[in-house]
């Protein structure tokens, strides 16, 4: 029986690979030298004579420039493709520097160790989820894929894109604006929501039917002016007159450049007064402790408009409703029973002040009444009708 014994030859051929590395290094250094000393036209002719593209020639020149000052005999154990790899990108510059600063013969294992040790450590994921992503030195909002069993979000957005011809970006932007407006108390529910919306929103909604009687409104703005027809009108006519005048010139008011804090006067039970510098949050805390409208009026009478708005936004929806109810009760209790005041009738075309105007629309006051229907007035520049009871007549036509 004849048996054949196979003898590995790879260890003999490795010397040929070493010779290949040496040849590549010699040719690369020669090309780098030619590029340095030849004119651009002569060097272009040389490249054309080789029959190589400029990209291939550039790879060799990169090797020649990187290892120009190192003896070829010290680099022959480096595998040829590794040479091209570590000179093809600036991120391997630390590897090339490590080879230059090493002593003795450079091995392939040494080069691979340099490559591994210079890899950047991946940045761990942030503990707090974020939708921000970097792009061209700026940041972009990127919403992760939305996976739902009922696919409500996807179908709703797609339906709006098909029916209303709007983009998904505009849909999300409008949804964010509606949510912000609701949080500010700008919207009031006037009907029951479908069960699936109540389940998604997870909020207890209360249907508020429109009625002729004034109901507490939780809009984002709040009129801190003392209720009209109060018993202290004669005691402080100047203050009330200034409050009325301030409403008519609201368009020309400029907020205090430092509205974060306001100095107000607080009167104790012993009729002692002192002044403190309070933030909007501090003022909101004081309002929570007030049990009557007169206490609220005393705290807020010296506040500027912007501080009043900021302190109002610090209150919860329940607190806002409670404060407005206190104002309504005070306005009813202080009307003398033996006096019947003729309330000016607001008609279409009248110029009016919206007393509960939202802060970002306050500069639009006064408004023009365009239509009146069911105790709600349609004002110019506004899409949503407002209750007539929230309007004050400026002039009649």
| CATH number of the domain enclosing 371 | 2.30.30
Half-sphere exposure of 89 (CA within 13 A, CB side): 5
In a domain, 90, yes or no: yes
In a domain, 113, yes or no: yes
- Pair (384, 321) in one structural domain: no
- Pair (58, 37) in one structural domain: yes
Residue 160, Cβ density class (10 Å: 0-12 exposed, 13-18 middle, ≥19 buried): middle
In a domain, 14, yes or no: yes
In a domain, 211, yes or no: no
- 123 and 147 Cβ atoms separated by less than 8 Å: no
- Pair (175, 92) in one structural domain: no
- Pair (331, 353) in one structural domain: no
In a domain, 1, yes or no: no
| Domain boundary residue, one of 86, 117, 148 | 117
The two tokens of residue 276 are 């403190």
| Rounded Cα gap, residues 43 and 250, in angstroms | 77
Report pLDDT for 256: 43
Q: Is 50 helix (H, G, I), strand (E, B) or coil?
A: helix
In a domain, 215, yes or no: no
b/e per residue 1-24 (b: at least 16 CB within 10 A): eeeeeeeeeeeeeeeeebeebeeb
- Pair (73, 146) in one structural domain: no
pLDDT tens digits, residue range 261-312? 344 444 434 333 333 467 878 888 888 888 888 888 888 887 887 888 888 8
- 293 and 330 Cβ atoms separated by less than 8 Å: yes
Q: Output DSSP code: residue 231.
A: T
DSSP track, 64-133: HHHTTTS-GGGTTTS-HHHHHHHTS-GGGHHHHHHHHH--SPPPHHHHHHHHHHTSPPPPPPPSS---EE
Nearest Cα neighbor of 315 from 216, 192, 194, 221 is 221
Q: Which DSSP helix (H) or strand (E) runs through 379? A: strand 376-379
| Domain boundary residue, one of 336, 355, 386 | 336
- Provide the number of structural domains found in the chain: 4
Give the CA diameter of the chain: 135
Q: Output DSSP code: residue 234.
A: T
| Residue ranges in the chain whose pLDDT is less than 50 | 206-276, 337-341, 396-397
- 319 and 364 Cβ atoms separated by less than 8 Å: no
| Rounded Cα gap, residues 397 and 395, in angstroms | 7
In a domain, 33, yes or no: yes
| Rounded Cα gap, residues 190 and 316, in angstroms | 20
For the chain, percent helix, then strand, then coil, each to nearest 5?
45, 10, 40
Q: Which DSSP helix (H) or strand (E) runs through 391? A: strand 391-395
| Rounded Cα gap, residues 323 and 283, in angstroms | 13
Report pLDDT for 157: 93
Report pLDDT for 349: 84
With a CB cutoff of 8 Å and minimum separation 6, the contacts of 193 are: 201, 205
SS (H, E, C) 138-183: EEEECCCCCCCCCCHHHHHHHHHHHHCCCCHHHHHHHHHHHHHHHH
Report pLDDT for 266: 40
In a domain, 210, yes or no: no
| Domain boundary residue, one of 314, 336, 358 | 336
Report pLDDT for 158: 93
> Could you identify the residue written with the tokens 């761990």?
124
pLDDT tens digits, residue range 17-69? 667 888 898 989 998 898 888 898 988 888 888 888 889 989 999 998 999 88
Residue 137 sits in which domain range? 132-201
């Amino acid at each position: 029986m004849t048996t054949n014994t196979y003898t590995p030859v790879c260890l003999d051929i490795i010397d040929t690979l070493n010779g290949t590395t040496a040849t590549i290094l010699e040719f690369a250094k020669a090309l780098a030298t030619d590029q340095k000393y030849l004119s651009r036209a002569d060097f272009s002719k040389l490249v054309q004579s080789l029959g190589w593209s400029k990209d291939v020639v550039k790879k060799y020149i990169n090797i020649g420039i990187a290892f120009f000052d190192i003896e070829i005999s010290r680099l022959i154990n480096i595998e040829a493709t590794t040479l091209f790899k570590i000179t093809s990108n600036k991120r391997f510059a630390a590897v090339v520097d490590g080879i230059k600063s090493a002593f003795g013969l450079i091995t392939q294992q040494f080069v691979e160790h340099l490559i591994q040790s210079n890899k950047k450590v991946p940045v761990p994921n942030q503990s707090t989820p974020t939708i921000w992503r970097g792009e061209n030195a700026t940041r972009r909002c990127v919403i992760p894929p939305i996976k739902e069993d009922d696919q409500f979000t996807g179908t709703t957005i797609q339906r709006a894109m098909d029916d209303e011809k709007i983009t998904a970006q505009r849909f999300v932007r409008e949804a964010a604006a509606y949510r912000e407006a609701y949080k500010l108390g700008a919207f009031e529910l006037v009907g029951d929501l479908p069960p699936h919306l109540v389940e998604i929103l997870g909020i207890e909604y209360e249907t508020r039917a429109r009625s002729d009687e004034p109901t507490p409104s939780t809009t984002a703005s709040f009129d801190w002016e003392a209720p009209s027809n109060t018993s202290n009108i004669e005691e402080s006519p100047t203050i009330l007159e200034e409050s009325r005048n301030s409403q008519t010139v609201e368009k020309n008011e400029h907020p205090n450049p430092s509205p974060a804090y306001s100095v107000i006067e607080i009167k104790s039970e012993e009729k002692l007064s002192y002044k403190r510098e309070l933030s909007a949050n501090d003022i909101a805390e004081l309002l929570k402790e007030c049990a009557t409208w007169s206490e609220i009026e005393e705290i807020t009478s010296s506040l500027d408009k912007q501080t009043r708005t900021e302190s109002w936004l610090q209150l919860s929806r329940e607190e806002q409703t409670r404060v407005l109810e206190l104002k309504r009760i005070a306005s009813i209790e202080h009307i003398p029973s033996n006096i019947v005041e003729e309330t000016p009738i607001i008609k279409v075309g009248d110029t009016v002040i919206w007393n509960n105007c939202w802060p970002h629309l306050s500069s639009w006051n006064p408004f023009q009444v365009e239509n009146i229907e069911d105790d709600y007035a349609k004002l110019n520049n506004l899409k949503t009708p407002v209750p007539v009871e929230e309007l004050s007549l400026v002039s009649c036509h």
